[in-house]
Amino acid sequence: MTTLGLIRLAAWREVYSRRKAFLITTGIAVVIVVGGLVAASIAGSDDGPPRIAVGMVDTGPVDAMEEAIAERVEPQVIVSVGRFDRTEGMELLRGDSMDALVVDPQTVLWAPSTPSWIADTVASAMRSINLERAASDLGLDDAALATLQAPIHGETIDWEPEDEGLMLVSVITVIVMFIAILAYGQWIAYGVVEEKANRVAELILGAITPIQLLTSKMLALGGLGLAQMTIVAGAGLGTASLLTQLEVPEVAASAWAWSAFWFILGFAFYGSVYAAAGSLAADSQEAGSVITPLNILPGLGYAVGIIAFGSGAELVLRVMSLIPFWTPMLMPGRIASGSVEFWELALATLLMIVATVAVVRAGARVYLGGITQATRRVSWGQAFRGGSDLVSS
């Protein structure tokens, strides 16, 4: 049988042996995501429309205050303004039954839990009423008053690209890649531990080379992982669209192509490492101590990358995105931001491909050396030397 035939047969074996686990975990994930969104929607709807309750102690116009606040909020917000003495108003504030108490034209008291948007709205309404009062005292006409009350137009500039949909896809890719590395990498590792414990792998390696076996695992489990993430994400986006009228942005085909490209390389890179790590443990009880330290690398890249993207630390992103350990998580975001030079993209791609090939080959040696030691745990060095001896013999 040809090499491709052996890889296809081994990959089908992986898919077939994990079909039940795939269906069960996918179903559970979909139920959790959809159920969580539905529950959040129901819980949010029970709160009813937002309200603003304001009390006034001074002799200011209640109707004018209520009208000024209503002009500054959405129509569904319920606004109520009433007259209270200071003692009664303070009791209502302490009990969170009222959001604000206007003591005089320059003084307002807030309840302990008054949201900032309510505070800003009430303060803006007070300024408007005070301005109208001052304009009337000075004899200003309506045109002059309108000029004084005209809003100030301002814009916030930042380093984000104009195509927000492209950035959204890239950020989601970073998160998905991180989750995929941890979830499916450990899935591979524990599968290898099980194969080592029941000595099935030794039989398989009699008909296929370690590199072919690892390649088949990457293809099978990477495909299952990508399918599962797509199904769960699709269910979540579809539910969110129905419940909240969420608009999914249109993105260029190149964004999906780059996301898939980095997903494939990143999964092959880390999947080989996790498979090799799984071959070192003698049983599932030892697997955790071998696999857990590997999670530090993607975790570090994810944490530092998110902080760097948020703060605009371009130098950190540039350096880390060229290191193969973190390229799959950071490069999509840099591509979307338009901050990647062509030579950086070419260099990152070359380094990632070379590193992936090297890791797959080295991982195959470690995998072979570790999987043949079914009764004991071995170190990385022992497994690599044992695998090299078996290949050369």
pLDDT, mean of each 10-residue run, the chain (393 residues): 79 82 86 82 65 81 85 86 86 86 84 85 84 73 61 46 53 72 80 73 70 78 79 79 59 65 82 82 75 85 77 82 88 76 90 88 79 71 74 57
- Asked if residue 366 lies in contact with residue 381, where contact means CB atoms within 8 angstroms, the answer is no
For the residues of 88-124, what is the DSSP string, one character each?
Answer: HHHHHHHTTS-SEEEEETTEEEE-TT--HHHHHHHHH
What per-residue confidence (pLDDT) applies to 167?
58
Give pTM, 2 decimals.
0.61
What per-residue confidence (pLDDT) applies to 162?
46
pLDDT, tens digit, 9 for 90 and up, residues 215-263: 787 788 778 877 887 788 788 778 877 776 555 555 555 666 777 788 7
What per-residue confidence (pLDDT) applies to 244?
62
pLDDT, tens digit, 9 for 90 and up, residues 269-307: 888 888 888 778 777 777 778 888 888 888 888 888 777
What per-residue confidence (pLDDT) applies to 159?
45
What per-residue confidence (pLDDT) applies to 158?
47
Strands in 78-83's sheet, in edge-to-edge order, are 78-83, 51-56, 100-104, 107-110
What are the angstrom distances between the C-alpha of 88 and each of 62, 94, 123, 126? 17, 10, 21, 21
